[in-house]
Each structure stands twice: as structure tokens, then as C-alpha cells.
Structure 1
């Protein structure tokens, strides 16, 4: 977007602190504890309660500005306009590269500080502009039906733990005095769907599953990662709200793990305590219960009743002080109560946002996230000099699916189609067809492509929802195809209260009828063609597509007026049904003339995600009701297969799919997840041999949904590679390469050891193929003679290694007492003598093992 600044009102921030250093809490030279106590003692009960809600009001008499505690950065600063978009969390986990994720998190927090500095300069302190980041999501992806599994690091506690620590440390930084941002692991604890009843559901596990599967990542994030915040879950656990659980928030989190930071509720979770869980009857009782259990910050308004709760004797002001002190300390550790000229990281400039270095990091992350699932007869990589390619699929030219959920809006991003076009030779003919809708068989509408615009489109942005007055910003864009989530398209606008006027010219290369449509969310629109009102939406519904007769090379002036009134969502796209009118035979003819077909399909974050208003075949409220590829897509793939041309399937999505037919019949399958802004180039790099795929699955791909226990059953028996003993489609840790790696038999430093001793296992890994490449060496343990139920096999270590073709490397793993410990039915960890299987290989199904005797 080329922005031409037309009019911006720079607002002088009100209530900025630190113009004079006359109060101890404003003095950075004092100990944090002294500063926190000083501020606490200056506040009235009403002021204290206000600071314990996510929208904390200003206290002007003390020079304290308002602060909104809610911000997001799952895989890039989210919902706050332009930012670098890295692969979705599940894709980052597929890299099995802890160091890379740490660098990504550091880049994200740098951009977060830059955006914070930008917001302060504009006098804005709104949602998604603060420094308290409600991420990472480190719940265990125990069931592939869960729509939010895409936000996690997968199904394994060890992998999730390593990724969590790396991400938390990268976000918070290494400054000895201040956090760059504060990380908030979520959702604590035992939380992974379903979405439809998360506000009332009671999760049950035995103590062994709790400590063996659901808690390790949180413990690692808090104890080793030193996260200074944690978010409680919506659901109950063993009858108690996770947001008011003495077991989770007191006994485990603070007493056993020594947590010194603050707990924030998931949004509305305190309200859930009385409204949906029916644990107590009133907001006062629920708020008192939560604070006393250890929930310090309410994302919501229930804590506004705490004054009444004090009057009713449900809670004391001293108990409120305990929670508020933790929040004050957090603000101090972020530098939020310092004088302006002593605010840490205030010199981080806007230029770091989506910088060239960050774009390259996003590209490398995307490359490493891609998982090659099948490569029959080594059809990949394709030659860049291939003569004809037909690219088909609902996600091939979709600018938005690459971002997943909880996304920012990068300015530098490519579709998969554009990445392919840019990669192949100039002589290669690349044909594109959407081919099918994502889930239905309705007429195909696609975004009006760049080639059909005559010149650039003028975009006028208004800081109100009614197109009133002069635009604040005027810019030019190349198309009308935007999705901003809960953000505004430019920083000076207010989310949920802005409008845009797009003015441009369409120049079709055909003669005939075509139906136009505007897809929007978050407001309403008007489409004007050649000065005449063509389509107008209502607040509660959009009109049906409308037909327009066009002539080849004739120019048609259009105006789209979009008015956003929803602070949670905003998008606008100009669509038409050109492909539908041309007919399916045109696509089939193109396929017949091509040397290969690249199909880009699967699912997107419009279908899977958080508590979504979705109820269609295969999807409900954000979750999956089937693991199959949508029927319309599978039918098209079968038609393409019958044409006899090689079909390469680029599978999109954030969860496992039962693509049994596709695995049996298609030539190659590459899992591309939601790869972020570098996805277009990264996928092309892999397809055409500029990068050798190295990603590994952080989840199990089952053959049937019938293989799984009921979704709401939180017992781990029969779930994940650790407890499922049936045949799977693709195992955890699986991923192919263009080269071939071999492993020697594991060798131990000691084949007999005492329970408290450490040991060492090593293997020699050799690249026997024709390409240089990386692989992930994985180390698993199984207690063969355990007296209690244990996992079939558990990941205990992994290393990503690069080997040139024809070379070898010795890879070593420490075997620690923790690696050979198991959990009894009370959730207690112990080691018992016996025979242990030590595996080292390329996936969880490796049989490359040796035996260790523990005495």
C-alpha cells in the first residue's frame, strides 16, 4: 500500500505520567517492591478495583494513564494492523527448531514495542496496543477435532514444553530490569475443546494424566521460561472453575512451582463461574472466589462488583491488595510507570515492523514448517522450466488463509499462486482456476484479480463509520481484498468506527455477463458502478450477487463504500463469478494440456477456530465433526486424478485430516499449514527444489475419526502417539525429505545404570541421497517393565541437523533421571528398576532402539 498522508490529527496523550518525579512509585531508582507498595497505598478501594480489570482506567490525580491489558501475538503481533506474520503455531512446531522459534518470538516482541511506541505517540491506549501478550497457547492438542489446535505446538508435552520456553524467553527478552513484553501461557489448565460448551464444561482426568500430559508445558513455561503471567481457562476442572481453582492456581502454580507473577482470566471466565457453571449465584461471589483463589486480573467486568463483595464480607481489601500488587509489579517491570524519558525500549523505531530481516525470518520459518507427506516416484521437486502447470484450488489465490487465526496484516505477502508464478521460468505457462469452493457446491466466486483493474485503486480512510468530513489518510492499492480482523487498516483509525471509500476502474478481457459481489464483515457497504448505485447491504444482511453485462477492454468505474461498526472484525473483498460462467470444461482442458497439476486446498481458519458461528457439514462452532477433506474438494481431486496428469496436493489447515484416498492415489502431498506471509515463496522454494523440506508432524494423522475416543473424554487412553496403538495414516514426527537419511543403532555410554545416574545415547546419521538437507533426530523412551500404565513411547529429545549429501554426523542425547521417570496413579513421579527401550530415529514409529537396564 502506497500511503499519501492527507490529514492526521496527532493527539497529545492525556494523563501522561512522569512529567515530574515527585512520587516514589515513579522513581526507577527505587526497588520495585518499594515502588509497588507506595502506589498501592495511594489508591482508594474503587481505584484498586478498576486496575484489576482488563480495561484499566486512568488515575489522573496520580498521572497514571489508562491501560488495556489485552494484546495478542500468537505468531506475530495480531489484530493491530501491519506486522510480520510468521507461520501459525502448529506450523512453527513442525519446524522442531527451538532456536528458530526463539528468534521469531524476539522479532515479534521487538515489533510489539515499536507498535506500542507508535500508539503512545498517537495518544492511543486501546485494546491490542499494550505490552501484555496473551500467548502462547500451550494446551495439548489431544484431539484433532479441536478447532484451536492450530494455535498450539501439538500433541506432545515435551515438544510443547521446549517450544513454550523458547517462545516465552524470546518474548520477554533478556534485559535484567525490564520485560520487552510479558508472555502469558494459556489456557491453564486441561483445556482443549469442545468450543461450543467451553463456558460450562467440566473436564475430568485422573492425577496421572494431569501431571504426565496436561501440566508439563505449563510447568516448563513458568519455572524454566519464567513467564510472568498465565491465563486461566474457561472450563471447570474436577468441579472447580479453572479461574477459581485452589488446586491449579494455589497448590500447583504458586506453592509447587513458585510462580510470582499474575493470573489473568480468559475473557468472561469470571462471569462463567456464576452464569454458566452455576458454582455460585452472583457476580460478587464469583469475583471473590476468583481473587481469593489467585486470579488477579479479570478480562471482563465482573470484578467491578468487588466493592460490593467487600461490603458483603466475601473478601477483604487486604486480599484485593495481594492481587493488585502483582499487577503493579508487572507494570513496573514493563516500565509503564516510569517517566517518559526513562521508558525502556522507547528507542525501537517503527522501521522494525515488517523489516527486511523479519520478512526473511518469516520466509525461513515457513520453509522449515512445510511437511512432505508423500512423494511418489520422487515427482518433487518439479523443474522450474516445466512447460505448463495448472494451479487449482480454493486456497491457491487466497491472500488470507496463510495467516490462520490471531493474525496481523502484513504488507508484504504472496499467495501460493503468486509464489509459483514468480518461481518458474518466463517460458512456463501457469494457468489458474479456483475449481471449487471451500465446502459447498454453489457457483464459484473469486476475488477480482489484479489484471482486471485499470491502474491503481484509490482508498480514502475516514476516522468515523459514516464517511463524514475529510479522509484522514488517502492511499492507493492494487485490488480490493482485505481482512483486518479486530484492527483498523491504518493506525490513526479506530477499530469498529471507521469507513473506507475505494474508487477504481475495472477493465474486463471478455464480453458477456458476470455477477459481482462484495463480501464484507464488520459493517455494511455500497457498490456503485459507472455512477449508479449497484448493490447496497443492510446492517443485518448482504444482498445477493448482481449481474452486469460487460464488454472486452471497456472500462467500468466503480466505488465501494465500506462502513465498519464492529470492533472485532473487519473485511471487504470485491468478487465475481467469471470462472463459473466460463464453465468447468475450460479447467479440464487446461489440465489435459499441462505437465502437472498443483492443487491447493484443505480447510482454513474461517472454518476452524475459536467459538465460531459456523454450523455446516463437517464443522460446528469452530470444531471439526469429521476429519475428512470437504466432500466437494475430494470429488474435484478424483476428477483431476482421472485425467491422468500428476497431481501435487498442497494441504492447508491447522489440524490432522483423514486424507486416506489422497494418500493412496495422488502423486505428492505437502502439508503447508497456515504458513504466514512467507508461505507463497516458501512453498514455491520446496516445490521447485530451492529448499529441501525438513518439517515433521507435531500431531498424529489418524485414518478415521472412529479411531478416537469421544471428544469430551479428557482421559489420554487411545489418544496421540503416546497412547494410541492402532494403525495411523501419518505418525507423530513424520516428514519426508528429497534426500535419504540413515541411522546407526543407538549406542549407550552405559548399558546398566543406577536410578539416579545420568547416561548418554548416540547415533550416527548419514545423508545417503542426492541432496543436501536437514532432518530432525528424535529420541524416545519406553519403560518396558513399568508397574503402572505408561505411554507406549515418549519423546525425550530432538535435534535438527544439516548434512551435505554423502556426509555423516554423530548425534548425542543426554539420558537424565527425568527421562526414565514415570507417574503413578496419584500423579507422583518416580523411577523404578527395569528394562527401558531407548529409541533414536526419524519419527515416533522408529524401531531403531537399544536396551537400557536400570538397577
Structure 2
């Protein structure tokens, strides 16, 4: 109706209601759902949903990788790795990167319908352990910083239009996923405080901001239950927003529920449980939906689910597709959904992001370099002339390496280069290994040709549209090969053409790959000692290289017998450090570029076992420094290294993640002072892996992990990063208003313009529970001209700044008391402190007579692991080593006294010898050692079959007491204890 009361006449909409963009999404979805047959709805549950021709619906695919650019679909703008974006500490920059990636996805889809708009990105698992193989995919070890950057990136991907989404982001990987080794069968033991304060916190912000379409469950289990049937999807995720969220499974994970995890007996049970838990889209069996469809039909036939369960999942998927504008007239899409591809703005943004990601770790005055003082610059190291991609990169349209960028800046005649690789020859009893001339003459693909678009390609570098060169042969004359040792005995070998030796599907060894790559890397080898020389094992297949009739070939594995391989003698023509020494001696300054290849020694499916820099690279920086004291080491890597000796010895040390297409140019601009570095470490750099707990220990509180709890001295702390200028901090103040308002004054007191990252932390001295040493609660990256002063204001909700999960009462709480608020330049370099007092009643003790004790809600524990109380929901506690476990519950209020106790537990006996003479027991003690009761738990017939055991308390505890529980017996699961007066 118009303002004057007259009815507004709209032209009739002749298409079905689901195509009417004027109607609410819910109305459109319900209309379309009613038009679909059951078979059509079931088919939509698979990742590759077929089209419905009679309704004009096109096929739809969930899942387009877009971690730092559109991946796997050919050329695209490549931005820095996610951990590099994390190092910028700049949400606004990250939002603009997300916007550029979203626009490129739209533009690429316009010319290739295989490009998806449901993007699986970003990864928001906090970087708890730097040895995680997928460290490059996350933003930070801190949940607040991770959440801030994830919210920014997804806002860019989603766009700002209230109704139409540019792309539909899905957060990865729900939940507590930080290990690759046995990732589909390991269980992350996550107690409630860690769950709420750490793992859930990283996801919560972006979901509440309304900028994500859903999440992807992780491969691992949490507390003994696979993430793909996690009750947290319902209990937490879907309570954070009124928006319908889509849950997309990870690839192959639905089948893992039966095949590797053995959590269910049949696939029908598994898929029914996943649907009931809230999984909507099943990524399984590649593009073949038939088995998923058959399993859903089987689950329906067995009564494990009903049609409404299918409809709920399809309704969510259709809502996402509607929000993407799939059912609208394409010409009617809002400008917000326009696409743009490889624009000057995107190129400039890639450079800006790469510049902002550089972290200056140490500097004794060597940097910035001066073009007038450095007449000759040595640029050395295995990454000095590389622009590396990773598994989730797109193909490079353009690229810059450090060598190229520095040569362009200074002139090629002023740059001396040495890659630092060993030059070697291989000899067999039949002669020298040689690379045929055809391989050395092959120029390979142009830089515009990108990796294969198929996910399963053995090596994207093989899909460049050229003919494979002939295999390596054995003859009278040798070919010099360049050997790179990536640590742990993992080697790559390059021919004089620069091509890597690789193994194709026919098993022959060729100099054919531009770079190592692919899901299964075919370019890595290892040398195994053998009488008379070495065997050369190909790591991609596990087979040994042998001399065959057609050339060098990987022998088919026949039980791993060493006799299937040829014995090679390795002759070193020149050590890489000798070439580096010569280059360094000729130069006025040296830049050593070391680090990792993202496809080797720490990547998806493969965790690292050490933080050490590869020995070959250690030798390079030492040789360069010995020949020229003016040596800077640039670590270009997906993760931190333990490089204490380099930090002590060298005048300058920098780190950057692999910086995408503009990496070389960005580094050159930082080295020569065009840009004052302002990147900050998004995770702690430890002095040694011995400072880290077991990779599978997810309890950051008990294991004292991450900057939040680490008690040792880090090599470089979270938030660390130097500048070419200096910043002075004025008085810090904090006041209570709607939240905490923090005021801080910062001045650029140094010699040049630059950016500072102001970091605000909170701490709680004397807290009744173990809280972080300090916790990041706010930050801002701010540009200041030389001499400029700025007053900054931060407002943070009190609960977010000072709260914690109170296990005694099952809620988020802020204790009364005095807290400290800090402003600093890192988590350990604090420049100002103010206090704030929270008033309120003292914390109440645990009301154990009224509520009892849930076993998982302990305050401290030793020798225990959290397990699934039932397959559907709930946690229980078991002994980690199958023998003894201990729990501590503080401040238990027994009132006037408790006289009896109940123990709810399950005891599964898996073999005749499993029951010790005393069976399984739950012993309850007071802090002074007084035994209150010992409850013997009989075998219950299964791990999910619980019994209630009653025991009298001869000594009646009264008042507020600490309670100690001791569990004895493998197979025992304790769910809860109850007390009565």
C-alpha cells in the first residue's frame, strides 16, 4: 500500500513462487520443496546434486575451495596463505581479500559452471600446535584473533547485500581438529572449559555475525564421538543464530563412520545418525551420488529416519541456493553479486596483503637495506627463486620471486644468486643416471597454465597440456642433479632444466614436474643405506627405483623387498653451502631465503615431528654468515621454526608465510624500506619442540599450551613483530560502561612513518581457577606518520574480556574481583596496565546435594580421557592408560552432611582377562586423604550400558570440601556421581 493509502498494483508474477525474488526465502523454499519428489530430494543430499529439468533447476555442487583465492579451477589471484593473512592482524584487509575472492568466484562461475559458490573457507581451527600439518590454513593460535579474521573474511565472501549472497562460506573444521596423523580415528579429549573458551570461541563470532552459511565437521572424533554425529551442532552451533545453517561433510567422512571408525555397524545407521545430528550435504564417493542415495533410502526403509529428516536437510540446502540467487533471473542479481577477475585492484591487494604479512623478528640495524650502500646483493637459498603454491591455491596468473623482484629493483648485474642445493650425480653398476636431452630442452607450461582442475590429480604440474619427456636412463655420461633435503630424509631432485624428477602412472621416472604437488606428491624420494651405496625409495608409491628396460622406473611393490631396487652410489659434485659461500663473499649483503615447500614435510595428511629447520638449510645460513656478517635470514614457511641459534647469530631475521603471487615484490619492498614491516606473529614460536605437549593433548589448560598458558620462555612470543620505526605508549585507562572501554594513547616516536599493532590483553591475578596468563581481548592495526599521536578506544563486552566457563554451574561467568588490562606490542611486551574491579557476590560452591557431579565437569584431572557417554550425546570419563585416573572437584557444598553416594558408570569387559581381582572401582576421597567410599562397578555388558551403584558414606562430609575421585580399571566409564543427605 502506498503512503496515501492506495493499493500498489504489481505486475503478476507468472513463474512458480520459488522463482519470485520478492517473496521471503522461507516461502520460496517451502514452495520448491513441495514440488520435488522424494527421490529428487534425496539426490540433493549428495555434494553433486543433479538438476531437476522439469523445474528448470540446474545441477548444484557444494564445496568450492577458496582459502586464499579461488582454488583448483585454474588461474586466479593468489593471496598469502591464511596464516600469513593472520600475521597481518588486519580484519579490514582480510575482509577486502574475501571480497576479491568472492568476486573472482562469481566471475569464474560466469564462464565455467563447475566453479561453485558454496565456498569451503576459511579454516578457523585455532593453531594450538605448530606441528599441525595444516598450520598454513588457520589464522592464529588465539580464538579471539581467529574469530575476528574469520568474521572479516566471510563478510567479504558473503557480501553486504541483505538478501543475496555473493558466495556462501562454510567454516572448517568443526571441531578440535589439529592433527593429521590418523586424523579419521583419533579422538580429541576436550573438557568443557577448553570447549567453550577455545574451540567453540573461534567459530562463534562469524556465525553470530551472520556472515557464514554453515560449517564442515572435521574428520576426527571429539570425546570419543565422530564430529559428523556431534551433538554440538544442535546444542551450540544452531543456537548462535536464527539463520538456517548448512552442514557439509568432509570428503569421505560419512563412510569413515563405518569403514575406519567402526562407530556404526552399517552405512544406513551411519547416514541416519549424521542426518539426525544435522549434517545436510554428504561429500562421499567423489561425483557418484548413488551410494549416498542408496544409504538414505535404506535408512528410510528401516525406519531409522523419516521423510521429515530428509526434508529438514534439503530445506537448508535450498535456502542457501536461494540466497545465492540461483532461482532468480540472473539479470536481476544485485550489483553486490557482480564478479570481477584479475583486476588491477586485486593485484594491488595481493601485494598489500603480502607486505602486511611480513614479520620482522630480529634486527640489529642491518635492515632496511640501502640501494646506495648495497652495490651487490647475494640472494641465496632454496626458496630464493621460488613463488610457492600450496594444496589450496589457485594457479598463478602472475608471480614474483625474491630473486626476480630484487633483480628488477637493483638490476640483474647487482644480484648474485645461488639456490644452495647440492649438486649430485647418481651411478649404478650399469652406468651413470642421465636425463635425456628432450627433457632438458622442454620448456614446459607457460605461467598462465595452471594446475589440473580435478582434485584427484596426482600432480597438478602434470596437467599442463604437454607431452611427457622420456624417462631417465643410464649411460656413460652423467647428468648433474640438484638435490634439496627438506628434512627427515625427504629429498627432491631437479634436472638442469629446473624440472623435478617425478613418477607418472606408468611408474617411470621423468624430469617433468615444474614443482612438487598434488594430493599424492610424486616428486619426493629418500635414500636408504645399503651395502655398496643406497636404495632410492619413491615416497609417493613406497616403491624402489630400479633400472628397467625402458629407463628408470619404480618397481612394483612385492612386500617391500629391498632386492626390487637398484643400488645407487651418490657422488656430490658440490655442496650447496660452498656455492652460497662464494656468492656471499662477493656481495655487500646477503639475503638467505629458506623455509618449506608447502607440499612436503607438513601439509594435509602429514604432521611435522620437529620444529627444526632442515639441516641443509641450517648449513646455508651459517655458510652465508661466515662469509659475510651482513646476512639476513628470511624464513618463508607455513609454520614456525625453532631457530634460536639463527636469532642469536644473525643481524636480521624475518618470517613470512608463502605470500602468493606478489610474495617476491612484497619482500623486496620490506627489505629496502619502502614498507616498514608491521606483521605480528599469530602464534608462539617455541625454542624447541620439547616445549610442546603431545600433539594429541588438546587440553591447553592442563598441558600449559599456547601463549595463553605456556609457562616457559618462547623464542618469539605471540604478537611479536618489530618495525623500522618506534612507538611510545601513553597512559592506559579502563572504565566500566556497557562493557569495558579501554583508552590508549600511541605515538610514532621513530624515524619514519609506519604501522603499529596495538594489542589489548586481560589477566586475572589470583583467580580461583587457572586462567590464561593474559588473553587478547582487542587489537587495532593503525598507520601513524612520524611524530603523529593517536588516542584509541576499544569497547569489549565484560563477559568476553573477563569471563570463563564455570564447570561448577555449567555457564559462562565473570567472577568478582580485580582484573588487569594491558596494552602492549606483544603478549609478553606490555607497555601499560590498568585495573578494573568487578563487583558481585562471591562464587557459589558446587551444589552437589542438589545437582550431583557430572564426571566431565572436573576442575583438574590426571590420567583420564573424555569419552562418549552415549552415541547421541553426553560425555563420560575413562582412564587414559586403562589403569588409574584421578579427578578433582573443588568447592563441593555438602551442606549439613552427605550420608550416601550413587555412581553412574559403565564397565565393558572386552576379554576374559580384563577383570582384575578387585574389578573396576570408583574411590572417593577428601583432600586430607580420608576415604569416603569405594564403589565397585560390575561388568555392565557394554560401554554404553550404565548401572547405578550405591554406597554409604561412613564419614559424612559436611560444608564445602574439595573432592578427589580415583578410577581404577580399563573399560570403566564414569558418567556422574550423586549425593544425598
TM-score category of the 2 structures, normalised to the smaller one: 0.7 to 0.9
2:807 corresponds to 1:825: yes
Whether the 8 Å CA contact 2:424–2:571 is kept in 1: the answer is no
2:189 corresponds to 1:204: yes
CA distance in 1, matches of 2:400, 2:571: 22
Quote the RMSD (CA, aligned, Å).
Answer: 3.5
Tell me by how many angstroms 1:569 deviates: 8.6
Query: Paired residue for 1:781?
Result: 762
Whether the 8 Å CA contact 2:18–2:28 is kept in 1: the answer is yes
Q: Normalising to structure 2: TM-score of the pair?
A: 0.70
Whether the 8 Å CA contact 2:419–2:576 is kept in 1: the answer is no
CA distance in 1, matches of 2:773, 2:260: 38
Tell me by how many angstroms 1:723 deviates: 0.6
Query: Paired residue for 1:219?
Result: 204
Tell me by how many angstroms 1:409 deviates: 1.3
Query: Does the C-alpha gap of structure 1 residues 356 and 238 become closer, same or farther in structure 2, counting only changes over 3 Å?
Result: same
Q: Equivalent of 1:840, from 801, 817, 823?
A: 823
CA distance in 1, matches of 2:825, 2:463: 52
2:12 corresponds to 1:46: no
Query: Paired residue for 1:421?
Result: 407
Query: Does the C-alpha gap of structure 1 residues 48 and 707 become closer, same or farther in structure 2, counting only changes over 3 Å?
Result: same
CA distance in 2, matches of 1:578, 1:651: 29
Query: Paired residue for 1:260?
Result: 244
Q: Residue deviations 1:738-797, cap 9 Å, x none? A: 11112124123x4xx5xx853433222122221111110100000113222211100011
- SS of the residue corresponding to residue 501 of structure 1 reads coil
- With 694-703 and 303-312 compared, the bigger mean Cα shift is at 303-312
Q: Equivalent of 2:130, from 138, 144, 168?
A: 144
CA distance in 1, matches of 2:230, 2:765: 36
CA distance in 2, matches of 1:297, 1:207: 28
- SS of the residue corresponding to residue 645 of structure 1 reads coil
Higher strand share: 2
1:677-756 matches, within 5 Å, as 677-717=661-701, 718-748=704-734, 750=735
Tell me by how many angstroms 1:802 deviates: 1.5
CA distance in 1, matches of 2:460, 2:579: 43
CA distance in 2, matches of 1:643, 1:518: 23
Query: Does the C-alpha gap of structure 1 residues 566 and 808 become closer, same or farther in structure 2, counting only changes over 3 Å?
Result: closer
- Kindly name which structure, 1 or 2, has the bigger radius of gyration based on alpha carbons: 2
CA distance in 2, matches of 1:343, 1:579: 63
- SS of the residue corresponding to residue 589 of structure 1 reads helix
Query: Does the C-alpha gap of structure 1 residues 27 and 149 become closer, same or farther in structure 2, counting only changes over 3 Å?
Result: same
Query: Paired residue for 1:791?
Result: 772
Query: Paired residue for 2:466?
Result: 501
Tell me by how many angstroms 1:518 deviates: 14
- SS of the residue corresponding to residue 328 of structure 2 reads coil
2:642 corresponds to 1:658: yes
Give structure 2 stretches of 5+ with no counterpart.
1-12, 286-290, 427-434, 470-476, 485-494, 525-569, 840-981
2:246 corresponds to 1:279: no
Tell me by how many angstroms 1:515 deviates: 4.5
Query: Paired residue for 1:160?
Result: 146
Whether the 8 Å CA contact 2:151–2:206 is kept in 1: the answer is yes
CA distance in 2, matches of 1:528, 1:709: 43
Tell me by how many angstroms 1:235 deviates: 1.2
Tell me by how many angstroms 1:314 deviates: 0.7
Q: Normalising to structure 1: TM-score of the pair?
A: 0.80
Tell me by how many angstroms 1:82 deviates: 1.1
Whether the 8 Å CA contact 2:778–2:794 is kept in 1: the answer is yes
CA distance in 2, matches of 1:565, 1:22: 48
2:217 corresponds to 1:232: yes
Query: Paired residue for 2:421?
Result: 436
Query: Paired residue for 2:587?
Result: 594
Query: Does the C-alpha gap of structure 1 residues 608 and 102 become closer, same or farther in structure 2, counting only changes over 3 Å?
Result: farther
Q: Residue deviations 1:533-565, cap 9 Å, x none? A: xx99652433266xxxxxxxxxxxxxx899x99
CA distance in 2, matches of 1:298, 1:793: 41
CA distance in 1, matches of 2:261, 2:234: 20
1:399-798 matches, within 5 Å, as 399=387, 401=388, 403-424=389-410, 429-436=414-421, 477=446, 484=451, 486=453, 500-501=465-466, 514-515=479-480, 539-543=505-509, 585-612=578-605, 622-717=606-701, 718-748=704-734, 750=735, 758-798=739-779
Whether the 8 Å CA contact 1:496–1:568 is kept in 2: the answer is no
Q: Equivalent of 1:312, from 296, 302, 310?
A: 302
Q: Equivalent of 1:243, from 224, 228, 233?
A: 228
Query: Paired residue for 2:386?
Result: 398
Query: Does the C-alpha gap of structure 1 residues 764 and 348 become closer, same or farther in structure 2, counting only changes over 3 Å?
Result: closer
CA distance in 1, matches of 2:395, 2:572: 28
Whether the 8 Å CA contact 1:21–1:339 is kept in 2: the answer is no
CA distance in 2, matches of 1:561, 1:191: 32
CA distance in 1, matches of 2:502, 2:613: 35
Whether the 8 Å CA contact 1:100–1:365 is kept in 2: the answer is yes
- SS of the residue corresponding to residue 758 of structure 2 reads strand
CA distance in 2, matches of 1:442, 1:809: 61
Whether the 8 Å CA contact 2:210–2:241 is kept in 1: the answer is no
CA distance in 2, matches of 1:404, 1:561: 15
Q: Residue deviations 1:627-669, cap 9 Å, x none? A: 0001111122222222243111110112111011111111211
Tell me the matched-pair count: 737
Q: Residue deviations 1:97-141, cap 9 Å, x none? A: 111111111111011100011114xxxx3xxx1100000100010
- SS of the residue corresponding to residue 734 of structure 1 reads coil
Tell me by how many angstroms 1:229 deviates: 1.5
Query: Paired residue for 2:943?
Result: none
CA distance in 1, matches of 2:731, 2:827: 16
Query: Does the C-alpha gap of structure 1 residues 567 and 707 become closer, same or farther in structure 2, counting only changes over 3 Å?
Result: closer
CA distance in 2, matches of 1:442, 1:79: 36
Query: Paired residue for 2:879?
Result: none
CA distance in 1, matches of 2:354, 2:668: 11
Query: Paired residue for 1:369?
Result: 357
Whether the 8 Å CA contact 1:407–1:485 is kept in 2: the answer is no
Q: Equivalent of 2:327, from 316, 337, 340?
A: 337
CA distance in 2, matches of 1:536, 1:368: 36
CA distance in 2, matches of 1:537, 1:212: 47
Tell me by how many angstroms 1:256 deviates: 5.0
Query: Does the C-alpha gap of structure 1 residues 805 and 379 become closer, same or farther in structure 2, counting only changes over 3 Å?
Result: same
CA distance in 1, matches of 2:383, 2:328: 47
Query: Does the C-alpha gap of structure 1 residues 513 and 715 become closer, same or farther in structure 2, counting only changes over 3 Å?
Result: same
- SS of the residue corresponding to residue 233 of structure 2 reads helix
CA distance in 2, matches of 1:663, 1:496: 36
CA distance in 2, matches of 1:140, 1:442: 44
CA distance in 2, matches of 1:609, 1:807: 43
Tell me by how many angstroms 1:345 deviates: 5.8
Query: Does the C-alpha gap of structure 1 residues 30 and 483 become closer, same or farther in structure 2, counting only changes over 3 Å?
Result: closer
CA distance in 1, matches of 2:719, 2:768: 28
- SS of the residue corresponding to residue 251 of structure 2 reads coil
- SS of the residue corresponding to residue 135 of structure 1 reads strand
CA distance in 1, matches of 2:330, 2:92: 34
Query: Does the C-alpha gap of structure 1 residues 207 and 99 become closer, same or farther in structure 2, counting only changes over 3 Å?
Result: same
Tell me by how many angstroms 1:290 deviates: 0.3
CA distance in 1, matches of 2:522, 2:265: 37
Tell me by how many angstroms 1:219 deviates: 1.0
CA distance in 2, matches of 1:54, 1:384: 58
Whether the 8 Å CA contact 2:258–2:267 is kept in 1: the answer is yes
- SS of the residue corresponding to residue 797 of structure 1 reads strand
Whether the 8 Å CA contact 2:756–2:783 is kept in 1: the answer is yes
Whether the 8 Å CA contact 1:781–1:839 is kept in 2: the answer is yes
Q: Residue deviations 1:804-835, cap 9 Å, x none? A: 22232222222531212222235621112211
Tell me by how many angstroms 1:503 deviates: 11
